[in-house]
Amino acid sequence: MSSRKYFGTDGVRGLVGKAPISPEFVMKLGWAAGKVLATSGTKKVLIGKDTRISGYMLESALEAGFSAAGIDIGLMGPMPTPAVAYLTKTFRAEAGIVISASHNPYYDNGIKFFSTSGEKLPDDIELAIEKMLDEPMDCVESAKLGKAVRINDAAGRYIEFCKSNFPAPLTLTGLKIVVDCANGATYHIAPNVFRELGATVIEFASKPDGININDDCGATSMANISRLVVEQEADLGIALDGDGDRLMMVDHLGNVVDGDELIFIIARAAQQRQQLNGGVVGTLMSNMGLELALQQLDIPFERANVGDRYVMEKLKANNWQLGAENSGHIINLNCTSTGDGIVAALNVLEAIQQSAKNLFTLRQGMQKLPQLLVNVRFVEGSDPLSDPSVKQQVKVVEQELAGRGRVLLRKSGTEPLVRVMVEGPDADEVKTLAESIADKVRAV
């Protein structure tokens, strides 16, 4: 694949006010995307955003760029990323654009695109947009400028879609749930979904002010929701991230239930209903406990590179439905075209209601293995991963753990670090073995 100048694995992202997340660049990005997309069909795009203060500025810049390219714009205001994916499909729009930096702090932002089928843009379209960004910006004649309209019922439509993924005979009546919206894009949606299905909902972090998104709340910061669930004597807690595509949960005792455990619960329930088509895709970071637990149920399991894009690629290649990252990106292609925190929570709640067991009991089916991650800094230019002494020590540890655990070495994508990850049944043994590899990496 050609190297990219602006698009990363999840759109264009950066610090607000600095290129590429500056008003000038984002206007040009809207124009370039408009030019590339204008060749077909409806000439209409949808724009949603999370609750960051910079969303207003970037939304206006995108709108101006698309209008100059002759593309009509539907503005949805604050909307979860999966909602934009879903509505892009139902409106038959050319593309859906989300202004969000997901679980990052408020001073970051990003622009990500969905295709008309509600999936991430194909590589060739992203590359065509990058190429167009190098051209001088022009403007269609006045009569052909794009018009902008506000889509007022977007939230209601998406709430109904979420509820449609929870079987009609079931209800959440009698359940008391704490819902942490991360002061993000689900603040006006998630509590309503669970309430309308019958649950008693205690809201947390559902009052965004433009700056408090992901601040000590949400799926990347679980201490508050764990405490609240216990204090309020709730049945469970649901934590989403700033743009609503990640899910973490908490059982009634305040224990965090991560993406590996949640996908296990969803997969086992689907198998019991005889609705599991194929297996489960995890990533290189998925706990080996997930692999072993699925093995006992005769459910196939494969690992993809870290990133929901790669999980999706493997699902499609295998024609499977379920995939997840341990960070809480959960994909169920029976329900959605992308990771969706609210829908994944409903999949887990379905398993709870159908089995009449609580979250604490359901998660016992999978035992996570102790896992240790050691970060070792190395000198730029050197390559510890190809050093014979490091390779030899990895081999020794793999033989030691044969069939009982796992070793993974990978370079960080953002800084000169080697991540040494060892998993095994015994925490002390794991620590000793991880350090033995880390020492060899340091010696290089």
| Structural domains in the chain, sorted by start | 12-152 (3.40.120.10), 158-365 (3.40.120.10), 371-443 (3.30.310.50)
| Token pair for 246 | 């990640």
Enumerate residues 6+ apart whose C-beta is below 8 A from 289.
Answer: 260, 366, 367, 368, 369
By the 8 A CB rule, do 99 and 110 touch?
Answer: yes
Burial of 356 (0-12, 13-18, 19+ CB in 10 A): exposed
Annotated catalytic residue: which of 102, 115, 206, 221? 102
| CA dist., res. 281 & res. 290, Å (int) | 11
Looking up tokens 């979904």 gives 193
Q: Is 439 annotated as a binding residue?
A: no
Burial of 381 (0-12, 13-18, 19+ CB in 10 A): exposed
Neighbours of 239 (CB within 10 A): 30
| CA dist., res. 163 & res. 133, Å (int) | 40
Distances (CA, A) of 53 to 20, 209, 212: 17, 8, 10
Pairing of strands 176-180, 200-204: parallel
| CA dist., res. 439 & res. 159, Å (int) | 52
Q: Is 340 annotated as a binding residue?
A: no
* pLDDT for 154: 97
By the 8 A CB rule, do 424 and 405 touch?
Answer: yes
Full-prediction pTM beyond 0.85?
A: yes
| CA dist., res. 286 & res. 307, Å (int) | 12
| Token pair for 218 | 């949400």
* pLDDT for 46: 98
* pLDDT for 40: 67
Distances (CA, A) of 48 to 96, 166, 351: 8, 25, 31
Q: Left (φ > 0), alpha (ψ -120 to 50) or beta: where does 339 sit? A: beta
> Does residue 22 have an active-site annotation?
no
Q: What is the DSSP letter of 354?
A: H
Q: What is the DSSP letter of 193?
A: H
Query: What stretch of H or E contains 70?
Result: none
| CA dist., res. 256 & res. 248, Å (int) | 7
Q: Is 426 annotated as a binding residue?
A: no
| Token pair for 177 | 């749930």
Report the first-to-last Cα separation within the chain, whole angstroms: 32
* pLDDT for 381: 75
Print burial letters for 68-98: b (CB count within 10 Å at least 16), e (below 16): bbbbbbbbbbbbbbbbbbbbbbebebbbbbb
* pLDDT for 1: 43
Q: Name the phi and psi angles at 351, rounded to 5.
A: -65, -40
Distances (CA, A) of 373 to 22, 287, 319, 384, 424: 36, 12, 32, 17, 12
Enumerate residues 6+ apart whose C-beta is below 8 A from 299.
Answer: 267, 268, 271, 276, 279, 280
Which residues on adjacent β-strands are paired with residue 108? 15
Q: Is 243 annotated as a binding residue?
A: yes
222: helix, coil or strand? coil
For the chain, list residues with pLDDT below 70. 1-3, 40-41, 413-414
Nearest residue to 334 (alpha-carbon basis) of 88, 192, 167? 167
* pLDDT for 380: 75
Neighbours of 58 (CB within 10 A): 27
